[in-house]
Amino acid sequence: MKHKLKICGMKIPANIAEVVALQPDYIGFIFYSGSKRFIEDLDPSLIKNIPAIIKTTGVFVNEDLETVKNAIVTYKLKAVQLHGQESAAYCKSLKGHAEVIKAFGIDENFDFDTLDEYQAYTDYFLFDTQTADHGGSGKTFSWQLLENYKNRKPYFLSGGIGVEQLAELEMIQDERLYAIDVNSRFELSPGLKNTVLLSTFKQALDKI
């Protein structure tokens, strides 16, 4: 199965246009002010006018529910990625407004049974490296831990993925792996992506 590609952490207008031209499946914008890739006062029209074939995704961390719903409308977001301690009930409240992607930081202590209550209220899970900064660490977790994942929900794989991981990605035989999420390993600086490197990665990923 061909994996989808999500390019996350965009905030610079000209660079956004360059990444859109690559036609990833998802493009992510971080609405969390604690992130180095926070969109700040980015013009909503730059996100709203991205071709509908690309799913614009808002990344939120423990945000007020109404603020998320308003952002979905203001920016015409196709998906929301929840990167904090949002509850299953919180996810349920967003179903129908946009695709719901619930992110979880994975380490050797993670209990995959905690995902069960989210099953009915999310479209996808996202597995990232467990950090205090809610992602964007550039660090990869041990993908062998995914052997403990028994749920049928498809998932995004995130956390320090770069061109160096292409061979490992090709070895993953898991039909639940829906999308690859990339960010910091393709950056020239926080929020500024190397589109030449991204293009190379995307072409290689398309062949896996």
Q: What is the pLDDT along the chain (208 residues), one digit of tens a residue?
A: 689 999 999 999 999 999 999 999 999 999 999 999 999 999 999 999 999 999 999 999 999 999 999 999 999 999 999 999 999 999 999 999 999 999 999 999 999 999 999 999 999 999 998 766 645 555 788 899 999 999 999 999 999 999 999 999 999 999 999 999 999 999 999 999 999 999 999 999 998 8
Q: Hey, which residues are catalytic here?
A: 8, 128
Go through the domains of the chain in sequence order and give each one's CATH number.
4-206 (3.20.20.70)
* Global confidence as pTM: 0.95
User: For the range 93-100, what are the long-range contacts, defined as Cβ-Cβ under 8 Å and sequence gap of 24 or more?
Assistant: 93/65, 94/65, 94/68, 94/69, 95/121, 97/69, 97/72, 98/58, 98/72, 99/55, 99/57, 99/123, 99/124, 100/124
pLDDT one-digit tens code per residue, 54-108 = 999 999 999 999 999 999 999 999 999 999 999 999 999 999 999 999 999 999 9
Q: Which of 165, 173, 176, 175 is nearest to 205 (CA)?
A: 165
Yes or no: say if 84 and 102 are a contact pair by the CB < 8 Å rule.
Answer: no
pLDDT at 133: 61
DSSP one-letter code for 95: B
Q: Which of 91, 113, 120 is nearest to 103 (CA)?
A: 91
- Terminal Cα-to-Cα distance of the chain (whole angstroms): 8
